[in-house]
Structure 1
Amino acid sequence: MNTKVFHNLSYGVYIISSLDGERPTGCTANSVMQITSSPATLALSMNHDNFTNSCIEKTGKFAVSILSETSDPSLIGQFGFQSGRDVNKFENILFETKEGLPVLTDSCGYIICKVIDKMETSTHTVFLGEVIDGDIQSVSPSMTYAYYHRVIKGKSPKNAPTYLPEEESENTIPSKTSWVCSICGYVYDEEAPFEELPDSYTCPICKQPKSKFVKQ
C-alpha cells in the first residue's frame, strides 16, 4: 500500500484542552471533525499516551481552540512536544475560561464539547463530543496541517494519528546540508548561516535551544 495517499487528506491544527483537577492542560491535535449538525457533534482522535486523553476521560468534556495562520507557531510546540504530566503548558499563555474549560485567545475560534461516547483503537481513543458552546474569535484563516508543514515547516509528533515514518528513496538526489530541530523537526532555512546564530537562538516551534539542532 502507498501510505503517501494519506497526505492527500485534509486536517486542521488545534489545541485540545481539559482539566487536571483544577489545573488547565492540553495538547496539539489535527484529527478533529464535525460528525453531525443537529445536535452538533464532533469526533476527536487522541493517542492513549497523551496526558490530555486521561484528563478528558475524567472530566467528560474538552475544548477545541482552532489555530489560525496568524497564531503564534510556538503554541504548536508548547502543547505538542512536551507532556502535561511534567509541565504547566498554560504557563505564560493567554487564555480565557468557557464552560469551565480553558480556550486560547490566540485562535480563530473555539468549540466546547461534552463527551457522549467513545471508541477505542489499538493506539487512539476516538471521543464523540456534543457541542455545548462555541464562538469565532478572529477572521484570520484557520491553519491547515498542510500549511503547518509547508509554511511553518513543522513535522508530526509520533503520537499524532497522521504520523508516518519518513521514507528514504534510492533515487534521492543529495541536497544541501540542513539544520533540523531534533525535538519537533523544524528545518532552519533562513539566509543567515546556522553556525553564525547566537547561542541564545531557540527553535520557533518548540522553543528548544540551538544545541538541540542536528546537521542533516
Structure 2
Amino acid sequence: MDPRAFYKISYGLYVVSSSYNGRLSGQIANTVFQVSSEPPMIAACLNKKNFTHEIVKSSKVFAVSVLEAETPLTFIGRFGFRSSRDFDKFEGVDYEIGVTGAPVVIQHATAIFEAKVVKECDVGTHTLFIGEVVRAELRRDAEVLTYADYHRIKKGKTPKTATVYFDKQS
C-alpha cells in the first residue's frame, strides 16, 4: 500500500473544540465534513488518544472553526502539537463560549459551527462524531486553508494522531 495516495484526498484544516466540567479543549483536525442537509449535520474525526476526543465524548457537543488560508503556522501549532490536558490553548486566543457551551475559536476563522453529537462511530484509531448543527455562521469571506496548502506552503508536519499519519517504517 502506498500511503502517498491518501494525501491526494482533499482536506481542510479546522479547530475542533469542546468543554466539559469547566475544562476547555481544542485541537487541529483535517477531517471535518457535512454529512446531511436535513437536518444539517457535520462530522468530525478525532483520535482516541487526544484530550479533545475525551471532552467531546463526555460533553456530547463540539464546535468547528474553519481556518482561513492566512492562518499563521504558530497558531496551528498551538492547537495541533500540544495537549489541552496540560496546556491552556485558549489563553490569548480570540474565542467565545457558544450556545452549546463549547469554546468557539473565532480568531482566523472564516466560518464557525456548533453541533450536538447524535452518533459516534468507532473507526479504529479514531472516532467519527456526527453532530446536528445548532449554529452555523460565516465570519468572513476569505480563502480557506487546505491540508495540502498547510504542507506545501507552510511546510507543516503531520502529528502521529492525525487521520493521515502513516509510520514511515510500515
- The question of 1:116 aligning with 2:112 is answered no
Q: How many residues are aligned here?
A: 167
Q: Matches of 2:119 and 2:28 in 1, distance apart?
A: 21
Shift of 1:165: 3.3
Structure 1 stretches of at least 4 aligned residues deviating more than 6 Å after TM superposition: none
Shift of 1:45: 0.8
Q: Matches of 2:92 and 2:133 in 1, distance apart?
A: 28
| Identity level (%) | 38
Q: Matches of 1:154 and 1:96 in 2, distance apart?
A: 27
Q: Name the structure with the higher strand share.
A: 2
TM-score, reference length from structure 1:
0.74
The corresponding residue for 1:104 is 105
Match for 1:132: what amino acid? Answer: V
Match for 1:2: what amino acid? Answer: D
Q: Matches of 1:152 and 1:158 in 2, distance apart?
A: 18
What's the RMSD between the two structures over aligned residues? 1.3
Q: Matches of 1:83 and 1:3 in 2, distance apart?
A: 26
Match for 1:41: what amino acid? Answer: M
The corresponding residue for 1:177 is none
Match for 1:123: what amino acid? Answer: T
Shift of 1:21: 1.6
Shift of 1:39: 0.7
> Tell me, what secondary structure is at the counterpart of 2:145?
coil
The corresponding residue for 1:29 is 29
TM-score, reference length from structure 2:
0.93
The corresponding residue for 1:163 is 165
Matches within 5 A, 1:129-144: 129-144=131-146
Larger RCO of the pair (alpha carbons < 8 Å, separation 6+): 2
Matches within 5 A, 1:1-216: 1-99=1-99, 100-106=101-107, 107-166=109-168
> Tell me, what secondary structure is at the counterpart of 2:53?
helix
